[in-house]
Amino acid sequence: MLAYAAGDAAAFDTLYGRHKGGVYRYLLRQCRQSGVADELFQDVWMNLIRARGSYAPTAKFTTWLYRLAHNRLIDHYRASGHLTLVSADDESHEDVVAAIPAARGDEPQARAENRELGERLRAALAALPSAQREAFLLQQEGGLSLTEIAELTGVGAETVKSRLRYALGKLRDELSDMGDGLREGLG
């Protein structure tokens, strides 16, 4: 980021390539609409570009980036006034599910099972409270530690730990409902 702030455009390409997927999925899971996620995603990166001169490496770049995304998401929540739920027939999710790698080849049965797993996981995540979902996404997509999540969200580390425990428990329950064959398929 310092290189980009100094004028190196190639440094931005490196950063963007490394973090774009995680930030996009974080926003998509939180707002649950691909159109809104696109808009928020663009806003986050534009904010980063504008704030490049004030960037100080006091923390990990990832923490700073996800803080920008978190703040933009809060603004979006405030503007919309309510949380939207992901619809079961969202076409964008169909594509994502289809992209899940099949551990047992391209067998039609395995592809169907993977798609089912993805749908159920996303549904389980969507059913989580927003704070638990955010803690889970920051850990999974951003790779942030408990401390970093606590700092970013403005709560204590123990609170974050509790949120993560609840989120993982519910997702595990969702997975346990699926047969052993599905778990083997995830391999």
Residues that bind other proteins (CB under 8 A): 4, 7-10, 12-13, 16, 20-21, 24-25, 28-29, 34, 38, 41-42, 45-46, 49-50, 52, 92, 96-97, 99-101, 114, 117-118, 121-122, 140-141, 168, 171-172, 175, 183, 186
Nearer to other proteins, 110 or 150 (CB): 110
Question: Cβ 56 to other proteins, closest distance in Å?
Answer: 18
Nearer to other proteins, 37 or 154 (CB): 37
DSSP state letters, 90-150: -HHHHHHHHTS--TTTT-HHHHHHHHHHHHHHHHHHHHS-HHHHHHHHHHHTS---HHHHH
Nearer to other proteins, 25 or 67 (CB): 25
Nearer to other proteins, 70 or 122 (CB): 122
Question: Cβ 70 to other proteins, closest distance in Å?
Answer: 18
Nearest-angstrom CA–CA distance, 32 and 54? 31
Question: Cβ 175 to other proteins, closest distance in Å?
Answer: 6
* Tokens describing residue 27: 């926003």
Inter-residue contact 26 to 36 (CB < 8 Å): no
- The three-state secondary structure class of 50 is helix
Question: Cβ 173 to other proteins, closest distance in Å?
Answer: 10
* Residue (of 120, 122, 127) closest to 182 by Cα position: 120
- The three-state secondary structure class of 174 is helix
Question: Cβ 81 to other proteins, closest distance in Å?
Answer: 26
Inter-residue contact 39 to 49 (CB < 8 Å): no
Write down how long the chain is.
187
Task: State the first-to-last Cα distance of the chain, in angstroms, to the nearest integer.
Answer: 37
Question: Cβ 145 to other proteins, closest distance in Å?
Answer: 15
Nearer to other proteins, 101 or 154 (CB): 101
Nearer to other proteins, 10 or 56 (CB): 10
